[in-house]
Amino acid sequence: MTNKIAIIGFGNIANAILTPLLDKDLIQPEDVYCVVNSEKSLENLKKNYKYNINVYKSSSKDSKIIWDCQVKLLSVKPQHFKDIFEAEDIKNKDNLLVSILAGVSINRLTQKFPNHKCVRVVTNIPITVGKGLTGIAWGENLTKDQKEVTKKLFENASKVFEFEEAYLDIFLALTSSGPAIIALIIEALSDGGLSGGLSKKLSEELVMEMILGTISLIKEKKLTTSELKNLVTSPGGTTISALRVLEKKSIRSALIESIVSASNRSKEFS
């Protein structure tokens, strides 16, 4: 896929991106150069990571080797963005930098790393189980090969979508904030089961299986959400009674506004 790749910051998302590439021999462990901020992270990676990759502490002189890598994945916490500085003696001025930092725009990346072709990526937590959604916005003057390499970084653990950067905020709201909203819905529905006498564990299992089954039905039968709702809603029945309560409580509006709010907050960060 590429000769050398640098991972700047190694959290759960970086792990989820890199490990499938190594599992499928798309890149070799000796060609991976990882930089972490703390001694604890350094020792943890050396001791517990399944592959013997090159790991350096950010304060060490040896860590400068990352700037010779053709591809760099920037995955530090956003508050540490200001602490990353491009090396002054970069030989290749056409290297690729892929950032998964929330709220850091392509413009800021380009200003910070003027000797790199920059890409902004938004991905979500299900990527850690190979079910992620990834949105990519391209910087300027990327080659076709660099775009292909970027997509290959993510497509082993997620579905990849290409956007203009302006759409990454709403993509983030739906896909990255969305899992927390879904978790809240699961929790609330299972509490409803709890109030009816079911155990919390059983109620949560039933809710999650119901959601998975509903999604499968919509996809396999190619139903719209309205068609599915009409399919299970009969006159004067239990479902319309439940939906009526949700409409009275403005749940639909609350969910819409939650996504709009998350998107606006992402724009503020940018």
Q: Which residue has the higher pLDDT, 103 or 119?
A: 119
Give the whole-angstrom CA distance, residue 191 versus residue 80.
Answer: 39
At 134-192, the pLDDT tens digits run 999 999 999 999 999 999 999 999 999 999 999 999 999 999 999 999 999 999 999 99
For residue 117, with 0-12 CB atoms within 10 Å meaning exposed, 13-18 middle and 19 or more buried, which class applies?
A: buried
At 177-205, the pLDDT tens digits run 999 999 999 999 999 999 999 999 999 99
pLDDT band at 3 (very low <50, low <70, confident <90, very high): confident
Strand 5-8 to 71-74 pairing: parallel
Which H or E run contains 131? Answer: none
Give the whole-angstrom CA distance, residue 34 versus residue 254.
Answer: 42
| Angle subtended at Cα 200 by Cα 199 and Cα 202, rounded to the nearest 5 degrees | 65
At 240-252, the pLDDT tens digits run 999 999 999 999 9
pLDDT of residue 270: 72
Cβ pair 36, 57 in contact under 8 A: yes
Q: What residue ranges define each of the domains in the chain, with the CATH number in brackets?
A: 5-164 (3.40.50.720), 178-269 (1.10.3730.10)
Tokens of 149: 């390499």
**Radius of gyration of the chain, Cα coordinates, nearest whole angstrom:** 22
Tokens of 232: 């299970």
Helix, strand, coil fractions of the chain, as percent rounded to 5: 55, 15, 30
Q: Which residues contact 84 (CB under 8 A, 6 or more apart)?
A: 8, 74, 76, 112
In the three-class reduction of DSSP (H, G, I as helix; E, B as strand; rest coil), residue 118 is classed as: strand
Question: Model-level pTM?
Answer: 0.91
- DSSP state, residue 93: T
- DSSP state, residue 21: H
At 206-233, the pLDDT tens digits run 999 999 999 999 999 999 999 999 999 9
